[in-house]
């Protein structure tokens, strides 16, 4: 597979297999919209093998449609934001929504899609998730007193909350 973001994607795959559940497999989707953006989406839900896919013949609106499946409000993402980002390719839009990680840079600049950069970008996401995790868990525990009614009828909700806290 020949695309400048492919070595970055391969390194992400290696790092995810080391740092996450080793039984998960990942689908990597590279998107390149010439002059506008390069993106990598990594999904781990229901994969039976690691997959790598390159999409260079998509429009901006087709890309937004794909991103809308990651998070619905991407449907309204203004193209002007990416045109501005294309002028600053060292900047990165990254995130984790549901079962998908995404990494988006403006323009098409191979020098920002290196295996070394993959490690740095993944660490940003992991640190962000760890920082938020404690706050979210504390809020879940505090809210459980009012959000989960007492009694046998609601034991499953309580068990699910305890499982999430332990995780």
Query: pLDDT confidence of 49, banded at 50, 70, 90?
Result: very high
Tokens of 84: 């501005």
pLDDT digits (tens, 9 = 90+) for 11-34: 999 999 988 777 789 999 999 999
In DSSP terms, 93 is beta-bridged to 104
* Residue-averaged pLDDT of the chain: 86
d(Cα 85, Cα 103) in Å, to the nearest integer?
Answer: 13
Whether 164 shows a pLDDT value over 60: the answer reads: yes
Whether 167 shows a pLDDT value over 60: the answer reads: no
pLDDT digits (tens, 9 = 90+) for 59-103: 999 999 999 999 888 888 899 999 999 999 889 999 888 889 999
pLDDT digits (tens, 9 = 90+) for 56-66: 989 999 999 99
- Per cent of the chain over pLDDT 90 is 54
Query: For the chain, where are the E strands, in sequence order?
Result: 27-33, 37-43, 51-55, 93-97, 100-106
């Amino acid at each position: 597979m020949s695309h400048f973001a492919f070595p970055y994607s391969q390194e992400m795959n290696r790092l995810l297999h080391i740092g996450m559940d080793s039984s998960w497999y990942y689908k990597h989707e590279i998107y390149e919209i010439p002059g506008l953006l390069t993106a990598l989406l990594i999904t781990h839900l229901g994969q039976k093998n690691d997959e790598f896919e390159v999409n260079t013949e998509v429009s901006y609106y087709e890309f937004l449609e794909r991103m809308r499946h990651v998070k619905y409000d991407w449907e309204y993402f203004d193209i002007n934001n990416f045109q501005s980002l294309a002028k600053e390719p060292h900047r990165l839009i990254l995130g984790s929504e549901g079962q998908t990680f995404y990494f988006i840079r403006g323009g098409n600049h191979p020098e920002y899609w290196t295996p070394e950069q993959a490690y740095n970008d993944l660490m940003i996401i992991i640190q962000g998730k760890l920082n938020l995790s404690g706050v979210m868990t504390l809020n879940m525990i505090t809210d459980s007193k009012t959000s989960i009614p007492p009694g046998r009828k609601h034991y499953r909700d309580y068990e699910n909350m305890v499982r999430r806290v332990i995780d």
